[in-house]
Amino acid sequence: MTRDGSEIYFCRSVPPHYFYTMYISRFEEGRWSHPEVLPFSGRWRDSDPVLSPDGQQLFFVSDRAVDGKDTHTFQAYVSRRIQGRGWGEPTLLPPSINQPGQYNIYFISMARNANLYFTRFPAAGGGNSDVYVSRFVDGKYATPENLGGSINVPGAFTVEAFIAPDESYLLLGGWRPSGSYGGSDIWISYNQNGQWTKPINVGPSVNTSAREYSPRLTPDAKWLIFTSERGFPTEHRAKPLTYDEIENSIRGTLNGLGNIYRIDMNSILQSTRPSSP
C-alpha cells in the first residue's frame, strides 16, 4: 500500500502459477476500485510488487526478455513514479543483483536506508533459495551479502523476504525443514546486534495447513498483509458434499486460489520477539 492508504498494488496468477499480472486498486468513497493492470504488465510473468518506503519506487520480478533475449530466469526491476504521469518504464536493477541466465530473483524489498533484500536461486536448480542484502554505499549497490546460516539453512526454500523499514526484523515466506504448519508458511527473523536470529514461525493466527505467503507491512507497520490459500480445499467436512455444494465452493471466494488478509503486526511481534541477549 501507499503511505496514505489510497492505493494497493498486488499480483494475480493463473493456476498453477503459469502467468502473473500486476494490478493497482484505489480506495475511493469507502471501497476499493475495480483493479487495473499496471501499464507495463500483462505480457510477461510479472510478480511480487513491493513499494519503497517513500512510495516513489515500485520493485518487482519478471521473466521478460533482457536485451531481446529470453534468459528463462526471473530478474528484479524497478519503476519510478513520475509526478503527474504515473509510473515510468521499468529498468533492470544493477548487475550486482541481477545475473540473467544464472540466477532467478524471486522477491525484492527496500529498507529506509535504501538497502535491498532479495531471494536468489540458481537457474540450473539445486541448492537453496537464499536471502541476500545489497547495501547502498556511496550512491551504488555493493556486492550482495548472504544473510548467513541462521536464515539460509539446508532444506529451506525462501520465496519472499520483506525487510522492516528500520531493518529490525525480516519477514520470510516459504518452506523450512521444521516448524511448519503445512505448506509454505510465514516466518520472522530479528536483527540482534547485526546478527539474524533463527526464523520463528509467526504462528496459527496466520499460518494454516494451506499455503501462506507474500508477507508485506502497511507503511505505518501496524498491519501484516499476506496471502493465504485457506478455505474449501483444507476445511474439515463432516459429510460428503453434493455436486452443487462442490461447484458453489469452487466458484466462491474461499476456493483455495489465494486471498489477501491482514492481521495486527504488534500481536505478531509480542508473540515472537526473542529476549534480549
Give the integer Cα–Cα distance in Å for 93 and 52: 14
- In 10 A of CB 163, how many CB atoms? 25
> Is residue 2 a part of any domain in this protein?
no
End-to-end CA distance of the chain: 34
Angle at 179 between CA 164 and CA 134, to 5 degrees: 30
Q: Tell the burial category of 157 from Cβ atoms under 10 Å away from its Cβ (0-12, 13-18, 19+).
A: middle
Task: Count CB-CB contacts under 10 A for residue 166.
Answer: 12
The model's confidence at residue 80, banded by pLDDT at 50, 70 and 90, is very high
What is the per-residue pLDDT for 182? 86
CA distance 157 to 117: 16
Could you tell me the pLDDT band of residue 138, with boundaries at 50, 70 and 90?
very high
d(CA 63, CA 119): 15
Q: How many structural domains does the chain have?
A: 1
Q: From CA 111, how far away is CA 132, in angstroms rounded?
A: 13
> What are the beta bridge partners of residue 262?
225
Answer whether residue 119 is part of any domain: yes
pTM of the model: 0.95
**If you average pLDDT over every residue of the chain, what do you get?**
94
Residue 243: what are its φ and ψ, rounded to 5°? -55, -50
User: Which grid cell is 115?
Assistant: 538497502
Q: What pLDDT digit, counting tens, does each position of 149-184 carry?
A: 999 999 899 999 999 999 999 999 999 999 999 889
Over 80: is that where the pLDDT of 38 sits? yes
Residue 213 identity (one-letter amino acid) = Y
CB neighbour burial string for 42-78, b if at least 16 within 10 angstroms, e if fewer: eebbbbbbbbbbeeebbbbbbbbeeeeeebebbbbbb
Nearest to 26 by CA among 6, 4, 3, 49: 6
Residue at 12 is within a domain = yes
Of residues 117, 219, 207, the one with CA closest to residue 169: 117
Cα gap 91→97, rounded to integer Å: 13
Which grid coordinates belong to 108?
525484492
277 in a domain, yes or no?
Answer: no
The band of 228, judged by pLDDT with boundaries at 50, 70 and 90, is: very high
Q: Are strands 200-201 and 86-87 parallel, antiparallel or unpaired?
A: unpaired
pLDDT at position 277 over 70: no
Please indicate, yes or no, if residue 114 is contained in any of the structural domains.
Answer: yes
List the domain range (segments joined by +) for residue 70: 7-272
Query: Could you tell me if residue 174 is inside a domain?
Result: yes
Cβ atoms < 10 Å from Cβ of 7? 16
Res 148 pLDDT > 90: yes
Q: Does any domain span residue 133?
A: yes
Supply 23's cell numbers.
494490478
Q: Name the pLDDT band for 196 (thresholds 50, 70, 90).
A: very high
Question: Would 1 be classed as within a structural domain?
Answer: no
Q: How far apart are CA 229 and CA 20, in angstroms?
A: 16
User: For the domain that residue 126 is a member of, what is the CATH number?
Assistant: 2.115.10
Average the pLDDT over 106-122 and give the result.
97
Give the span between the Cα atoms of 144 and 131, in whole angstroms: 10
What is the share, in percent, of the chain residues with pLDDT greater than 90? 89
User: What pLDDT score was predicted for residue 276?
Assistant: 64
Does the pLDDT at position 142 exceed 90? yes
SS3 238: coil
Among the ranges given (11-20, 116-125, 230-239), the one the predictor scored with the smallest mean pLDDT: 11-20
